[in-house]
Amino acid sequence: MNDIYIITTASLVASSCALLGCFLILRKMAMVGDAISHAVLPGIVIAFLISGSRDSITMLIGAGLIGILTTFLIEFFHKKAKLQTDASIGVTFTWLFAVGVVLISLFAGKVDLDQDCVLYGEIAYVPIDILIINNESFGPRALYIMSAILFAIILFIYIGYKELFLTTFDPAYASAIGISTSLWHYLLMSAVSLTTVASFESVGAILVVALLIAPAATAYLLTDNFKLMLVIACLAGIAASVTGYYVAVWLDSSIAGSIAMMAGVIFTFTLIFSPSHGLISKRLKATIG
């Protein structure tokens, strides 16, 4: 039963991250997830200093708020300081991470307080963290959290699909017809921030970043239809979750690492053999042409 819990949780995280990853890749902001994973450290420290506790809920709230702040700062530096997006991301997450390190050294130097111990999870522990209500077990807590996150993302995309689509592909036209590109950008980045932070505790940061990028990149190589891209990205993430788990069992290795590795393997296979954008098909077209 434990393997079903782990695979299901990984698949829920993969689907959530893949849906948002499609928008990030098309907006050329694929490394936002990685930036958030580093930038949330001061939020963890501040939450600890205010509450005096390392309770995971408190830490998640602090990390989530700083994650949202990260997206605002990235956009601010990009728009106001005229920095390239990648430079804005680099400046923001290194600065916030450094602030977190300084806060730890000043106020929590003797406390075992870092991202690994209070926020970043390990997917192998999913079956252990059980939701208990009135002394009755209801299964792994991560399943409920990630199911709620996935439902919220699907609802968000369904309600705002037109606005998200237009602001992603043609922001000038979106502005011309009265759609606020800034508003929808911040809504999307807030969704990315909350999803990544919520997923960190369940499956670990490395796996979240991998699933945020690789499945969406795989789908990008397979289709030019955006709706189909969303579906393919989810399927690629689920495929990586299932195959990665059994590879980890076979090799007796890290589950998160194996899932991330299989996400990369699937992307590489697609890069080579994709009918439309694969290396082989491009070589054949160039030869025939």
pLDDT digits (tens, 9 = 90+) for 192-250: 888 887 887 777 777 888 899 999 999 999 999 999 999 999 999 999 999 999 999 99
Q: Please give the Cα distance from 40 to 59 (Å, whole number).
A: 10
The domain segmentation of the chain, as residue ranges, is 2-212
Name, in order, each residue with C-beta under 8 angstroms of 254's C-beta and a sequence gap of 6 or more.
Answer: 248
- Token pair recorded at residue 36: 């958030």
For the stretch 113-150, pLDDT in tens is: 555 544 455 788 788 877 777 777 778 888 888 899 99
Q: Are 244 and 10 in contact (CB under 8 A)?
A: yes
Q: Place domain 2-212 in its CATH homologous superfamily.
A: ABC transporter involved in vitamin B12 uptake, BtuC (1.10.3470.10)
Q: In terms of Cα–Cα distance, which of 103, 85, 86, 105 is closest to 41?
A: 103
pTM: 0.87
Residue-wise pLDDT for 223-237, tens only, equals 999 999 999 999 999
CA proximity to 268, closest of 214, 227, 228, 209 = 214
pLDDT in tens, 86-96: 788 888 888 88
Contact, 96 vs 41, CB < 8 A? yes
What pLDDT digit, counting tens, does each position of 18-69 carry? 999 999 999 888 888 778 777 877 887 787 778 766 566 777 778 778 888 8
- Report the C-alpha gap between 158 and 164 in whole angstroms: 10
Q: How far is CA 140 from the centre of its chain?
A: 21
